[in-house]
Chains A and B, each alone.
Chain A
C-alpha cells in the first residue's frame, strides 16, 4: 500500500500520453499552462485599464481624494470612516484566497470532502465581496450621484467661504423657487441672468440637510456637490473666493466615474464568473468525478489559479483607487 501514491503518479505521468507527444512542455499539464497564459492576457487587459486610469489622472489638475470619496459604511449613515469598508472588502478577498489554497491542498490529498468544504468557504467569500461592492456602487450612484460622465467629487482650487441665502441676495442675486417633480427647488441667479443650469447657484447643504453657509475652506479641501434626491438636481454650492468673486463648486474630473465603474466593474465581473465556476467545480468535486480522475483534483487547482489572480488584480485596484 505504501506505493499507492507512487502508482498513481506513475499512471498520470506515463500512461496518459500527456500532450499526445509523450511529453508535457514546461512540465505542466495542458490545462494549467493554458490557464497561466490566459491569466497573462487578462493581466494585460487589466493593465490597459489601470494605465489609462493613471494617464488620465496625471493629465488632470485635480483628482478626488480616496479617503473622502470612500468614507461611508453600511448601517451608520452619518459615520465617517475613511477606507474602513474597502479594507473589509480586501480582507474578505484575502481570506477567500486562503480558503482556496486550502481547497487545492485537500484536493491534492484526494480528500474530496475537505476540498468541497474549503471551496464552499471560498464561494461565500466571493459572495460577500460582491454584495459589498453592490453596496459601494449603490451609495456612489444613488446617494452621491456619481455616474459614468458626471463626477460631483472634487477638491477646491482656491480658498473661500460658502455663502448663505442672505449673502447672495445682498450681492444682487435673484432667488428662484421652481417646482420640479412636485417639490420646490430653491436657487439663485446672478442679476439679469437666464435661468439655465450654468447660472444656478445654490446654498451649500449636504445630504443630511446641514447648511455650510459661512464655513471656510482651504485649497485642496475635498467637496461633494450635493444631489437633491427630490428634485434630482445637482446643487453646486455658492462661495466667495479669496479674490472676492462669487463662484460655485465645479464638477470634478469627468473620467473618474467611468474609470471607477469600468475597472472595479470589470474586476467584479471576474469575481462573479469566479463564483460561478467555483460553484460548478464544487458540485463536480462533491460528485466524485475529480476523485475518479486520480490527478489530485487538478480542476480545483486550475480554478484556484484563476481565483488567486482575481485577488492579485484587487491588490492593484486597491492601490490605485484607494491608497494613492
Chain B
C-alpha cells in the first residue's frame, strides 16, 4: 500500500494511526472504569454484561494489533506467502488459548471438589481410619 502512497499520504496515515490508537486506548480505559463502577455510581457490569465487556476489550486489542502489523510494520505490502507464513502459525494460538483456559478452569473445579469431599468426610476414629467406603472420597480416574 505504502508503495503507492505519496510521502504526504504516508505522513497522514501515521498521524491517523496515532489518533486512532490513542482514542481506542482511552475508550478501553473508560469502559474498564465504567465496568468496575468507578465512573457512574451504582453502575457495574456483571453477568452477561461482563462477557460483553470482555469481548469488547479483546476486540479492541485485536484491532490495535491488526493496525500495527498491517500499517506500521507494513505487512500489507508484503507478498501473500509471507503474510500467511507469519499469520498462520500465530492463528494456531487461538486453540492453545481455548485449551489451556479450559484446563485452568478444570484445575479449579477439581480443587473445589476435593475441598467439598474433605469437608463432607466423616471423622475417623483415634487411629485416623475411616470405616466405610473410602472410594467415595477419591476423584474418579
A residues lining the B interface (CB < 8 Å):
26-28, 33, 36-37, 39-40, 43-44, 47, 51-52, 54-61, 65-67, 82-83, 87, 90-91, 94-95, 97-98, 100-102, 105, 109, 304-305, 308-309, 311-312, 315-316, 318-319, 322-324
Q: Does B137 contact A (CB under 8 A)?
A: no
Closest A residue to B97 by CB, please name it. Answer: A51
Which residues of B have CB within 8 Å of A60?
108
State the CA gap A212–B55 with chains docked (Å). Answer: 37
Say yes or no: A67-B32 contact (C-beta < 8 A), given A102-B14, A319-B58.
yes
Q: Mark B16-31, 1 if CB is under 8 A from A, else 0.
A: 0110011001101100
Which residues of B have CB within 8 Å of A100?
72
- Supply 23 A–B pairs (Cβ within 8 Å), ascending by A: A28-B78, A40-B90, A44-B93, A51-B101, A54-B97, A58-B105, A59-B104, A61-B112, A91-B22, A94-B18, A94-B22, A97-B21, A101-B17, A102-B11, A308-B68, A308-B73, A315-B61, A315-B68, A318-B25, A323-B28, A323-B61, A324-B32, A324-B57
Q: Taking the nearest CB of chain B, how far is it from the CB of A255, in angstroms?
A: 11
- Contact between B79 and A27, CB atoms less than 8 A apart: yes
- Contact between A55 and B108, CB atoms less than 8 A apart: no
Q: Apart from A83-B29, A319-B57, what 13 extra A-B contacts exist at CB < 8 Å? A: A26-B85, A28-B78, A33-B82, A51-B93, A54-B100, A94-B21, A97-B68, A98-B17, A102-B14, A105-B11, A105-B14, A316-B61, A318-B25
Q: Does B96 contact A (CB under 8 A)?
A: yes
Which residues of A have CB within 8 Å of B29?
83, 87, 323
Which residues of B have CB within 8 Å of A94?
18, 21-22, 25
Closest A residue to B110 by CB, please name it. Answer: A59
- Contact between A36 and B104, CB atoms less than 8 A apart: no
State the CA gap A305–B11 with chains docked (Å). Answer: 18
**A interface secondary structure, majority:** helix
State the CA gap A47–B72 with chains docked (Å). Answer: 21
- Contact between A54 and B18, CB atoms less than 8 A apart: no
B residues lining the A interface (CB < 8 Å):
7, 10-11, 14-15, 17-18, 21-22, 25-26, 28-29, 32-33, 36, 38, 53-54, 57-58, 61, 64-65, 68-69, 72-73, 78-79, 81-82, 85-86, 89-90, 93, 96-97, 100-101, 103-105, 107-108, 111-112
Q: Taking the nearest CB of chain B, how far is it from the CB of A302, in angstroms?
A: 11
- Contact between B21 and A82, CB atoms less than 8 A apart: no
- Contact between A101 and B72, CB atoms less than 8 A apart: yes
Q: Taking the nearest CB of chain B, how far is it from the CB of A28, in angstroms?
A: 6
Closest B residue to A39 by CB, please name it. Answer: B86
Say yes or no: A101-B78 contact (C-beta < 8 A), given A59-B104, A312-B65, A323-B32.
no
Closest A residue to B21 by CB, please name it. Answer: A94
Question: Which of B22, B61, B101, B104 contacts A319, CB < 8 Å?
Answer: B61
Which residues of B have CB within 8 Å of A95?
18
Closest B residue to A36 by CB, please name it. Answer: B86
Closest A residue to B69 by CB, please name it. Answer: A312
Which residues of B have CB within 8 Å of A98?
14-15, 17-18, 72
- Contact between A55 and B104, CB atoms less than 8 A apart: yes
- Contact between A309 and B73, CB atoms less than 8 A apart: yes
